[in-house]
Amino acid sequence: MRLIRYQAQFQESMLTLHRSAVEGFTLGMSQQQDEADLMAVEEVYLHGGGEFLLGFVGERLVAMGGFKRLADGVAELRRMRIAHDLQGRGYGTLMLRELERRALQSGVRALCLDTARRRPLTLDFYRKHGYQEIGQSFYGAVETVQFSKILDARVHEGAANQECEVGSAPG
Q: List the domain boundaries for the chain.
A: 2-163
Dihedrals phi, psi of 106, to nearest 5 degrees: -90, 5
- Could you read off the pLDDT of 54-89 as tens digits, one per residue? 999 999 999 999 999 999 899 999 999 999 999 999
- The pLDDT value given to residue 152: 67
Mean pLDDT of the residues in the chain: 87
Instruction: Read off the pLDDT band of 101 (50, 70, 90).
Output: very high
pLDDT at 155 over 80: no
Task: Find how far residue 162's CA is from the centre of its chain.
Answer: 19
Among left, alpha and beta (phi > 0; psi -120 to 50; other), residue 14 is alpha
- What is the value of pTM for the model shown? 0.86
- C-beta separation of 10 from 60 below 8 A: no
- The pLDDT value given to residue 171: 47
Determine the CATH number of domain 2-163: 3.40.630.30
Euclidean distance between CA atoms 29 and 10, whole angstroms: 24
Instruction: Read off the pLDDT band of 139 (50, 70, 90).
Output: confident
Give the rounded percent of residues in the chain with a pLDDT score beyond 70: 88
- The three-state secondary structure class of 90 is coil
- The pLDDT value given to residue 143: 87
pLDDT at 92 over 90: yes
